[in-house]
Protein backbone atom coordinates (compact mmCIF):
# COMPACT_ATOMS: atom_id res chain seq x y z
CA UNK A 1 0.00 0.00 0.00
CA UNK A 2 2.92 2.32 0.72
CA UNK A 3 4.26 1.88 -2.82
CA UNK A 4 0.81 2.64 -4.22
CA UNK A 5 0.55 5.81 -2.12
CA UNK A 6 4.01 6.87 -3.29
CA UNK A 7 3.04 6.28 -6.92
CA UNK A 8 -0.14 8.33 -6.48
CA UNK A 9 1.89 11.13 -4.89
CA UNK A 10 4.34 11.13 -7.82
CA UNK A 11 1.45 11.09 -10.32
CA UNK A 12 -0.15 14.04 -8.54
CA UNK A 13 3.13 16.01 -8.54
CA UNK A 14 3.59 15.25 -12.26
CA UNK A 15 0.08 16.52 -12.97
CA UNK A 16 0.80 19.73 -11.03
CA UNK A 17 4.02 20.31 -12.99
CA UNK A 18 2.24 19.78 -16.31
CA UNK A 19 -0.59 22.12 -15.30
CA UNK A 20 1.85 24.83 -14.27
CA UNK A 21 3.90 24.53 -17.47
CA UNK A 22 0.77 24.55 -19.62
CA UNK A 23 -0.52 27.64 -17.83
CA UNK A 24 2.71 29.64 -17.67
CA UNK A 25 4.77 28.74 -20.74
CA UNK A 26 4.30 30.49 -24.07
CA UNK A 27 3.41 27.86 -26.64
CA UNK A 28 -0.31 27.25 -27.02
CA UNK A 29 -0.19 28.29 -30.70
CA UNK A 30 3.05 28.55 -32.64
CA UNK A 31 4.26 29.51 -36.10
CA UNK A 32 7.77 30.09 -37.43
CA UNK A 33 7.76 33.73 -36.37
CA UNK A 34 5.17 33.84 -33.57
CA UNK A 35 4.40 32.06 -30.30
CA UNK A 36 1.17 32.64 -28.42
CA UNK A 37 -0.02 31.55 -25.03
CA UNK A 38 -3.05 32.47 -22.95
CA UNK A 39 -1.34 35.56 -21.54
CA UNK A 40 0.63 37.21 -24.35
CA UNK A 41 2.21 36.81 -27.77
CA UNK A 42 5.87 36.75 -28.75
CA UNK A 43 6.88 37.78 -32.27
CA UNK A 44 10.28 37.04 -33.83
CA UNK A 45 11.77 40.21 -35.33
CA UNK A 46 15.46 40.49 -36.27
CA UNK A 47 16.21 37.21 -34.47
CA UNK A 48 14.84 38.61 -31.20
CA UNK A 49 11.60 37.50 -29.54
CA UNK A 50 9.49 40.56 -28.69
CA UNK A 51 6.66 40.51 -26.18
CA UNK A 52 3.36 41.90 -27.45
CA UNK A 53 -0.19 41.93 -26.19
CA UNK A 54 -2.68 39.46 -27.52
CA UNK A 55 -4.72 40.68 -30.47
CA UNK A 56 -8.21 41.99 -29.93
CA UNK A 57 -11.26 41.69 -32.10
CA UNK A 58 -13.83 39.16 -33.10
CA UNK A 59 -11.22 36.55 -34.08
CA UNK A 60 -9.70 36.74 -30.56
CA UNK A 61 -12.62 37.22 -28.12
CA UNK A 62 -11.43 38.49 -24.73
CA UNK A 63 -14.32 37.01 -22.77
CA UNK A 64 -13.40 33.49 -23.92
CA UNK A 65 -9.74 34.25 -23.31
CA UNK A 66 -10.49 35.25 -19.73
CA UNK A 67 -12.43 32.01 -19.28
CA UNK A 68 -9.41 30.03 -20.53
CA UNK A 69 -7.07 31.96 -18.23
CA UNK A 70 -9.31 31.56 -15.19
CA UNK A 71 -9.91 27.87 -15.81
CA UNK A 72 -6.19 27.19 -16.20
CA UNK A 73 -5.33 29.00 -12.99
CA UNK A 74 -8.14 27.27 -11.11
CA UNK A 75 -6.91 23.89 -12.33
CA UNK A 76 -3.46 24.66 -10.88
CA UNK A 77 -4.95 25.86 -7.59
CA UNK A 78 -7.25 22.84 -7.18
CA UNK A 79 -4.46 20.40 -7.95
CA UNK A 80 -2.00 22.06 -5.55
CA UNK A 81 -4.66 22.10 -2.83
CA UNK A 82 -5.35 18.46 -3.58
CA UNK A 83 -1.77 17.40 -2.84
CA UNK A 84 -1.78 19.19 0.50
CA UNK A 85 -5.14 17.66 1.39
CA UNK A 86 -3.85 14.23 0.32
CA UNK A 87 -0.94 14.43 2.75
CA UNK A 88 -3.15 15.83 5.54
CA UNK A 89 -5.79 13.13 5.04
CA UNK A 90 -3.21 10.36 5.37
CA UNK A 91 -2.65 11.29 9.00
CA UNK A 92 -5.99 12.70 10.15
CA UNK A 93 -8.96 10.83 8.68
CA UNK A 94 -9.97 7.23 9.39
CA UNK A 95 -9.85 4.56 6.68
CA UNK A 96 -12.76 4.74 4.29
CA UNK A 97 -12.92 8.54 4.36
CA UNK A 98 -9.32 9.39 3.52
CA UNK A 99 -9.11 10.35 -0.12
CA UNK A 100 -12.55 11.73 -0.90
CA UNK A 101 -11.60 15.42 -0.69
CA UNK A 102 -8.38 14.85 -2.67
CA UNK A 103 -10.37 13.06 -5.36
CA UNK A 104 -12.91 15.87 -5.55
CA UNK A 105 -10.17 18.51 -5.84
CA UNK A 106 -8.42 16.53 -8.58
CA UNK A 107 -11.72 16.07 -10.41
CA UNK A 108 -12.28 19.85 -10.25
CA UNK A 109 -8.77 20.43 -11.60
CA UNK A 110 -9.50 17.93 -14.36
CA UNK A 111 -12.71 19.71 -15.32
CA UNK A 112 -11.09 23.15 -15.23
CA UNK A 113 -8.20 22.26 -17.53
CA UNK A 114 -10.61 20.43 -19.85
CA UNK A 115 -12.76 23.56 -20.05
CA UNK A 116 -9.72 25.75 -20.75
CA UNK A 117 -8.34 23.53 -23.51
CA UNK A 118 -11.79 22.99 -25.03
CA UNK A 119 -12.59 26.68 -25.20
CA UNK A 120 -9.17 27.41 -26.69
CA UNK A 121 -9.69 24.71 -29.30
CA UNK A 122 -13.16 25.92 -30.22
CA UNK A 123 -12.70 29.69 -30.22
CA UNK A 124 -9.11 30.56 -31.14
CA UNK A 125 -7.08 30.17 -34.35
CA UNK A 126 -10.01 28.63 -36.19
CA UNK A 127 -9.29 30.12 -39.62
CA UNK A 128 -5.51 30.28 -39.41
CA UNK A 129 -3.88 28.08 -42.02
CA UNK A 130 -0.28 28.38 -40.89
CA UNK A 131 0.86 27.37 -37.47
CA UNK A 132 -0.27 24.76 -35.05
CA UNK A 133 -0.89 23.93 -31.45
CA UNK A 134 2.22 24.09 -29.32
CA UNK A 135 3.54 21.93 -26.54
CA UNK A 136 1.63 23.79 -23.80
CA UNK A 137 -1.68 23.00 -25.43
CA UNK A 138 -0.69 19.34 -25.67
CA UNK A 139 0.52 19.37 -22.06
CA UNK A 140 -2.84 20.78 -21.00
CA UNK A 141 -4.60 17.76 -22.53
CA UNK A 142 -2.08 15.36 -20.99
CA UNK A 143 -2.62 17.06 -17.61
CA UNK A 144 -6.36 16.55 -18.13
CA UNK A 145 -5.81 12.81 -18.54
CA UNK A 146 -3.46 12.60 -15.54
CA UNK A 147 -5.74 14.55 -13.22
CA UNK A 148 -8.70 12.45 -14.31
CA UNK A 149 -6.78 9.22 -13.67
CA UNK A 150 -5.57 10.60 -10.36
CA UNK A 151 -9.07 11.53 -9.22
CA UNK A 152 -10.43 8.10 -10.14
CA UNK A 153 -7.54 6.49 -8.27
CA UNK A 154 -8.30 8.55 -5.17
CA UNK A 155 -11.92 7.41 -5.24
CA UNK A 156 -10.84 3.77 -5.63
CA UNK A 157 -8.26 4.12 -2.83
CA UNK A 158 -10.96 5.46 -0.54
CA UNK A 159 -12.48 1.98 -0.47
CA UNK A 160 -9.21 0.23 0.44
CA UNK A 161 -8.90 -0.89 4.05
CA UNK A 162 -5.23 -1.96 4.06
Question: Three-class SS string for 135-154?
Answer: HHHHHHHHHHHHHHHHHHHH
Side by side, the strands of the sheet bearing 132-133 are 48-52, 41-45, 34-36, 29-30, 132-133
Residue 29 confidence (pLDDT):
94
- Regarding pTM above 0.85, the answer is yes
C-alpha distances (whole Å) from 132 to each of 46, 103, 113, 129 are 22, 33, 19, 9
pLDDT of residue 162: 46
Contact 82, 102 (CB under 8 A): yes
Top CATH class, 2-157: mainly alpha
Average pLDDT value for residue range 27-38: 92
Asked if residues 53 and 36 have their Cβ atoms less than 8 Å apart, the reply is no
Q: Average model confidence (pLDDT) for the chain?
A: 90
Q: Over the stretch 120-145, which tens digit does the pLDDT of each residue have? A: 999 998 888 889 999 999 999 999 99
Choice between 25 and 60, residue whose per-residue pLDDT is larger: 25
Amino acid sequence: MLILLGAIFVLHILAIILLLVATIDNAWWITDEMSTDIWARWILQNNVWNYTDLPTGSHYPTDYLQAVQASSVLACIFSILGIFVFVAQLFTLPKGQRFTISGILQLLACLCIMIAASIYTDRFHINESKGGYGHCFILAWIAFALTFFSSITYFVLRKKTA
